[in-house]
Amino acid sequence: MPNAYIQLAIAIVAEVIGTSALKASDNFTNLIPSLLVVTGYGISFYLLANVVKEIPVGITYAIWSGAGIVLVALISIVLYRQIPDLAAWLGMALIIAGIMVMNLFSNMSGH
């Protein structure tokens, strides 16, 4: 099971790289950012397919998407100067809280 969480962490990083490069790809007209998008998503989905063999798909997707949302929002502050407002920060806190509740208290997580 720990290997699945390592793969999930790598899948999250790959997805965040791909998503963060979307804007710079300029509708897939810039080669390097476009390659980052395709490669990032390809690696991410490949690893997710492995992870769901060991971790329930609902938990896997909650962690992957939630962490991705928060990390992409944080990266967009640096790369694109897109500063979240109070509602966005609150929303991200609720996403993190929801993931924690699912992992700690749900029978779905297999604990």
Q: What is the DSSP string of 25-93?
A: HTTTTSHHHHHHHHHHHHHHHHHHHHHTTTS-HHHHHHHHHHHHHHHHHHHHHHHH-----HHHHHHHH
Domain assignment of residue 82, given as a range: 2-109
> Using the 8-state DSSP alphabet, how is residue 1 labeled?
-
| Per-residue model confidence as pLDDT tens digits over 13-45 | 999 999 999 999 999 999 999 999 999 999 999
Average pLDDT estimate for 50-64:
93
Report the alpha-carbon distance of residue 19 to residue 64 in Å, rounded.
13
Here the tokens at position 33 are 């950012």
- Specify the number of domains making up the chain: 1
User: Residue 109 pLDDT > 80, yes or no?
Assistant: no
Reported pTM: 0.88
Q: What is the mean pLDDT of the chain?
A: 93
The neighbour count for residue 5, using CB atoms within 10 Å, is 14
Task: Please give the angle made by the CA atoms of 51, 52 and 57, to the nearest 5 degrees.
Answer: 130
Residue 106's SS3 state is: coil
